[in-house]
């Protein structure tokens, strides 16, 4: 077998990692074609995204690609990267941020141990098992201020509450009797301490 000269090795090395622009996206296969303007606008063969996570770039995104060294046919699209055109939203080493869309992201602050999921709606399905929310305070609603009675406390109050009565004629005044039918039982599925 012949040996590769230094110039040939350098040429191969220069083509191992390339920067280009996504020209087309195949959503079904998870592959992209990449345009390399520095190679006479050559377009790669379809390249799989290396991340094994479905978050496809869009045409026009700048991406880095890794090739096997034998041309632009065999390789991977490593993914998008930060640049002058595409700057990080936050610049803090203690923040993990996964940008999913323009105004949709997951953000974790390592210092505060604070996780935020910013999204328009959430659907949470648990296939069997249970969901536990454990916190010193649970707020239901963005401007939640008032506490609410729950479970057995609320049932006991509903079953035993009365109303003051004041008659305008000679009937007198006093309190009404408790409700004649009891309130629904507390949920066996939703529980509180």
7: helix, coil or strand?
helix
pLDDT band at 27 (very low <50, low <70, confident <90, very high): very high
Residues of the chain with CATH 2.40.50.230: 6-80
Alpha-carbon distance values, 91 to 35, 82, 83, 107 (Å): 30, 12, 13, 12
Residue 152 above 90 pLDDT?
no
Neighbours of 48 (CB within 10 A): 14
Contacts 24+ apart (CB under 8 A), 50-56: 50/76, 50/77, 50/78, 50/79, 51/79, 54/30, 55/100, 56/25, 56/27, 56/30, 56/32
Mean pLDDT of 25-42: 94
**CA 47 – CA 44 distance, rounded (Å):** 7
pLDDT digits (tens, 9 = 90+) for 79-103: 999 988 888 889 999 999 998 888 8
Look up the pTM and report it: 0.61
Mean pLDDT, residues 141-151 taken together: 70
Per-residue tokens: 136: 């010193």
CATH code that applies to domain 6-80: 2.40.50.230
* 3-class DSSP assignment, residue 86: coil
Residue 35 has pLDDT above 60, yes or no: yes
């Amino acid at each position: 077998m012949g040996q590769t000269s230094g110039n040939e090795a350098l040429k191969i090395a220069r083509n191992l990692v390339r920067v280009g622009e996504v020209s087309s996206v195949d959503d079904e296969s998870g592959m992209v074609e990449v345009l390399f303007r520095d190679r006479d606008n050559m377009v790669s063969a379809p390249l799989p995204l290396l991340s094994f996570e479905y978050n496809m770039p869009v045409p026009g995104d700048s991406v880095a690609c890794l090739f096997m060294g034998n041309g632009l046919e065999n390789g991977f699209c490593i993914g998008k990267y930060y640049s002058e055109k595409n700057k990080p939203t936050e610049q803090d080493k203690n923040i993990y941020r996964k940008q999913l869309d323009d105004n949709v992201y997951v953000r974790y602050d390592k210092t505060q141990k604070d996780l935020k999921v910013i999204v328009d709606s959430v659907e949470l399905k648990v296939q069997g098992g249970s969901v536990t929310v454990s916190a010193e305070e649970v707020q239901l609603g963005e401007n939640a201020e008032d506490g609410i009675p729950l479970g057995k406390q609320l049932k006991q109050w509903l079953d035993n509450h009365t109303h003051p009565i004041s008659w305008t004629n000679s009937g007198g005044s006093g309190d009404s009797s408790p409700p004649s039918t009891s309130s629904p039982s507390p949920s066996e599925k939703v529980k509180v301490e």
